[in-house]
Structure 1
């Protein structure tokens, strides 16, 4: 295990396009840290710089206290798992897993012990003699992870490893990765654009926007108290409702956020009202998409068995203690703003 320190990191391509302007980040030893953000925000570039696959324009990268800014990838005590599995099609699972060890001339007995341990951890014991073509996508990804495990690195780096899998398999692999982290207690840095992956896997999320860190913290801290308008709109599914205009101003804010589950719903009275455009039934939950004259379009979370339909009118009252006020620069305002607004009202 090892901690990773990024100090005043800057990345510029061709001396013109700056994708990461000045970034500082401390990744704790043994943490599962997820870098999340929209496509093109710089998260994969940042991961590749940690791995040594991209050069650093300015700043320093330290792994376990050692400056590795200019070190070769093989000298950084890291192992990387990519979106593509990069398995050798003519080799068995066992040979794919121990390929790097054979290149390093590790004795056969030691190699076999490490392959067996990795196979046990990843439920690959019955598949060791199969070729990649005989495996499912999830099994291939586990082989790629096994190849990383046997290196016993200080840091595991994952670059959107689940994006090629179908939805059901992604869900299962998320659970397996979380369990793997609990067993290995290793430092893991994981890149994704999927905020659901970030919320379910991470013990610490780093939200990146245009090469800059918007917020760092535990998943529920970001969900319950987003510090910027970007984080408020990015973290959570479905997204937070963001309200502007007179209603937001009445609460002392330029933009007012409220999550779909943080509104009381009534048929007869409430602070806001509107007509339902569409209802999505998802089993345990339902989501009503409401058009309100006072606040605009809203998404409302309801019980899955609720008896509502398109065209119905709903009255909504927000949970005032769960509102999120933001200023014109998109920064969170103190909660005292809401308290004062309620007192005046």
Structure 2
């Protein structure tokens, strides 16, 4: 395992600059997640680390070695893609060991590494099966096994769970987190799903139009988002941004005020902001209530359990004052 250092890296396609000068440190042994909307540059950055995209300007170091112009196969990285890319005519064991066989590794050592990876990923009983005989989650574990046997310095994941259904994604999030704990390897993971970022990362990098908005631990980004973009992207449902001439009396004039849905209480008898129920989503253990308030505009409120409220009825919403987020000139000034 090794750290990754990105120094003033820029990526241009012709005259179009998709990643402006960017600096980032990925600590050794960390699980770093690059997150952001489509087109923010996260996959491009990952592919530059892998050597699948050239760097227009700047340098990339892995374990202190400049690998900016090093061939992908010589960088000590292994990449897992969104597509499983398994050979349908090969068994699970043959798919996992294929790269080692191409590299000329001896049969005994190759079989040992394949068996070790299979044990880690609970694929031992499936080694003789073909990909068509596997579930989506099992196929993705085979693709991960193909990376593990190479014993790379850095694992790179490019949205590896996006082809799985919701239940499998939840299961694989746990399995990948446990894999990281077991291997202790440096992992860089790309996703547009902030739930994946929050549940798996020890360091999140939020990207927006090629720029880094904020870097930090998941709960730090949740509790102290540096910009309105981070505040709106991290957290589900996303943060409410209050409208109106002055939605909170103590805030600076012209400030943007935010409050998360789970930090608002509802009452039928009284509260800070009278609001009309627009829609109610019952999710079992929690309920999302969508409201319109003349005081602060549209609101989404998350409450525990069931809430009997019909569209068109009036409820009173009250924020927890200590949980308000205040932004001026695009930067957080308080909470």
Q: TM-score range by the shorter chain?
A: over 0.9
Structure 1 residue 245 displacement after superposition: 2.9
Aligned pair 1:214/2:213, yes or no?
yes
Structure 1 residue 43 displacement after superposition: 0.4
Structure 1 residue 263 displacement after superposition: 1.4
Are the equivalent residues in 1 in contact too, given 2:155–2:187 (CA < 8 A)? yes
Are the equivalent residues in 2 in contact too, given 1:244–1:254 (CA < 8 A)? no
Structure 1 residue 249 displacement after superposition: 6.1
Q: Which residue pairs with 1:339 in the alignment? A: none
Are the equivalent residues in 2 in contact too, given 1:86–1:144 (CA < 8 A)? yes
The TM-score normalised by the length of structure 1 is 0.95
Q: Which residue pairs with 1:303 in the alignment? A: 304
Q: Distance in 1 between matches of 2:144 and 2:224?
A: 34
Q: Distance in 2 between matches of 1:194 and 1:234?
A: 9
- Spell out, residue by residue over 1:272-310, the C-alpha distance to the aligned partner (whole angstroms, 9 max, x if none): 110111110001000000110100100001122223222
DSSP 3-state at the match of 2:54? coil
Are the equivalent residues in 2 in contact too, given 1:248–1:254 (CA < 8 A)? no
Q: Which residue pairs with 1:160 in the alignment? A: 159
Q: How does 1:80-91 map to 2 (within 5 A)?
A: 80-91=79-90
Q: Which residue pairs with 1:281 in the alignment? A: 282
Are the equivalent residues in 1 in contact too, given 2:265–2:301 (CA < 8 A)? no
Structure 1 residue 264 displacement after superposition: 2.3
Q: Distance in 2 between matches of 1:40 and 1:225?
A: 25
- Spell out, residue by residue over 1:182-240, the C-alpha distance to the aligned partner (whole angstroms, 9 max, x if none): 11110000000111111111111000000000000011110111000100111111010
Q: Which residue pairs with 2:332 in the alignment? A: 332
Q: Distance in 2 between matches of 1:245 and 1:265?
A: 20
Q: Distance in 2 between matches of 1:31 and 1:230?
A: 24
Q: Distance in 2 between matches of 1:247 and 1:117?
A: 61
Structure 1 residue 85 displacement after superposition: 0.8
Q: Distance in 1 between matches of 2:285 and 2:310?
A: 17
- Spell out, residue by residue over 1:58-102, the C-alpha distance to the aligned partner (whole angstroms, 9 max, x if none): 000000000000000011000000001111111100001111111
Q: Which residue pairs with 2:318 in the alignment? A: 317
DSSP 3-state at the match of 1:163? coil
- Spell out, residue by residue over 1:26-77, the C-alpha distance to the aligned partner (whole angstroms, 9 max, x if none): 0000000000000001000000000000000000000000000000001100
DSSP 3-state at the match of 2:333? coil
Q: Which residue pairs with 2:264 in the alignment? A: 263
Structure 1 gaps, min length 5: 336-345
What is the alpha-carbon root mean square deviation over aligned residues?
1.0
Aligned pair 1:128/2:127, yes or no?
yes
Q: Which residue pairs with 1:6 in the alignment? A: 6
Q: How does 1:33-48 map to 2 (within 5 A)?
A: 33-48=32-47
Q: Distance in 2 between matches of 1:62 and 1:108?
A: 33
Structure 1 residue 267 displacement after superposition: 1.3
- Spell out, residue by residue over 1:97-144, the C-alpha distance to the aligned partner (whole angstroms, 9 max, x if none): 111111112121111111111111111011100111111111110000
Aligned pair 1:193/2:192, yes or no?
yes
Structure 2 gaps, min length 5: none
The TM-score normalised by the length of structure 2 is 0.97
Aligned pair 1:184/2:183, yes or no?
yes
Q: Distance in 2 between matches of 1:96 and 1:38?
A: 32
Are the equivalent residues in 1 in contact too, given 2:11–2:19 (CA < 8 A)? yes
Q: Distance in 2 between matches of 1:241 and 1:305?
A: 21
Q: How does 1:53-92 map to 2 (within 5 A)?
A: 53-92=52-91
DSSP 3-state at the match of 2:78? strand
